[in-house]
């Protein structure tokens, strides 16, 4: 029987992934479906750390553009990611998946603070660790937090869950001739300005030799296929 090719993963879930077809917030059925995919992989013995976004609730850039102080808006965005982390944790609890939320901003009544060795210990114990509040710093994104935590957790790979099933030569919604890359190097992705992760996250992963797999969380079974190293999504490598 085939074995998972990754022992420990860092899964980046955007806030929008939790939204489903709604225009904002958290869609219960969508979260349950995502959690069932996560559980399937956890049951294989894969250690799972998750960085959750907050775009479904609050994104700092637009309010800042409208005149709000950028740092304040970004802190609000980080708090939004903590709410998503709590929703995800609760959905995991309901299916018997034990998890811990660690926040990069101290907010102790609702989540533990981020402590690296403790997070690693949880992973070793088979608990899912959900990282909230991004990097804890304004002017960053949860993509960068995913790159950072992936490295800190010594994950084998960063899995970027999106709505599209990989990186394409062009926008597949606009161009029917767009082709999905099965693999692509960091340098090529950067040179061609392809949408993988934001530039800071991409540069960090490239410099630290951390591969990224971009795949669709909306495609049933895709996460599991990525874990088994099947031709799913796009592998971005050095």
Q: What is the DSSP letter of 111?
A: B
In whole angstroms, how close is the CB of 24 to ligand UDP at the nearest point? 11
Rounded to whole angstroms, the Cα distance separating 213 from 96 reads 27
Rounded to whole angstroms, the Cα distance separating 235 from 186 reads 10
Closest CA to 139 of 51, 55, 60: 60
Please pick, from the candidates 14, 99, 103, 162, the single residue that binds ligand UDP as defined by CB under 6 A: 14
Alpha-helix runs per DSSP H in the chain:
28-42, 61-65, 70-94, 116-124, 142-152, 186-191, 199-207, 222-227
From 38-46, 71-79, 112-120, 163-171, span contacting ligand UDP (CB under 6 A): 71-79
Please pick, from the candidates 37, 74, 165, 232, the single residue that binds ligand UDP as defined by CB under 6 A: 74
In whole angstroms, how close is the CB of 62 to ligand UDP at the nearest point? 9
From 2-10, 131-139, 155-163, 206-214, span contacting ligand UDP (CB under 6 A): 131-139
Does 141 bind ligand UDP (CB under 6 A)? Our answer is yes
**Do residues 9 and 46 make contact, with C-beta atoms less than 8 angstroms apart?**
yes
Residues counted in the chain: 238
Does 55 bind ligand UDP (CB under 6 A)? Our answer is yes
Residue 69 phi, psi dihedral angles, 5° rounding: -60, 125
Compare residues 217 and 235 and give the one whose CB is closer to ligand UDP.
Answer: 217
Reduce the DSSP state of residue 10 to 3 states and report it. Answer: strand
Please pick, from the candidates 10, 47, 53, 156, the single residue that binds ligand UDP as defined by CB under 6 A: 53
The footprint of ligand UDP (CB under 6 A) covers: 14-16, 53-55, 59-61, 73-74, 77-78, 81, 134-135, 137-138, 140-143, 145
Annotated binding site: 12-15, 54-55, 59, 74, 135-142, 162, 168, 171
């Amino acid at each position: 029987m085939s074995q998972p090719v990754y022992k420990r993963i860092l899964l980046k879930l955007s806030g929008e992934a939790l939204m489903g077809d709604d225009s904002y917030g958290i869609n219960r059925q969508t979260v349950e479906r995502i959690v069932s995919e996560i559980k399937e992989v956890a049951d294989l013995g894969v250690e799972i750390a998750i960085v959750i976004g907050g775009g479904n609730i609050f994104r700092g850039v637009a309010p800042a553009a409208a005149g709000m102080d950028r740092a304040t808006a970004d802190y609000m965005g980080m708090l939004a990611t903590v709410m998503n982390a709590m929703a995800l944790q609760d959905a995991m609890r309901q299916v018997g998946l034990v998890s811990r939320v660690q926040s990069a901003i101290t907010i102790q009544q609702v989540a533990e603070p981020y402590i690296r060795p403790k997070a690693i210990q949880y992973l070793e114990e088979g608990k899912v660790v959900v990282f909230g509040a991004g990097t804890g710093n304004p002017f960053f994104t949860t993509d960068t937090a995913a790159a950072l935590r992936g490295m800190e957790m010594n994950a084998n790979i960063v899995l970027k869950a999106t709505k599209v099933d990989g990186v394409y030569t062009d926008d597949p919604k606009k161009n029917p001739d767009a082709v999905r890359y099965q693999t692509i190097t960091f340098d090529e992705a950067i040179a061609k300005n392809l949408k993988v992760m934001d530039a800071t996250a991409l540069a960090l992963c490239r410099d630290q030799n951390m591969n990224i797999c971009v795949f669709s969380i909306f495609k049933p079974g895709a996460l599991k296929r990525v874990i088994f190293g099947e031709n799913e999504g796009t592998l971005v490598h050095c």
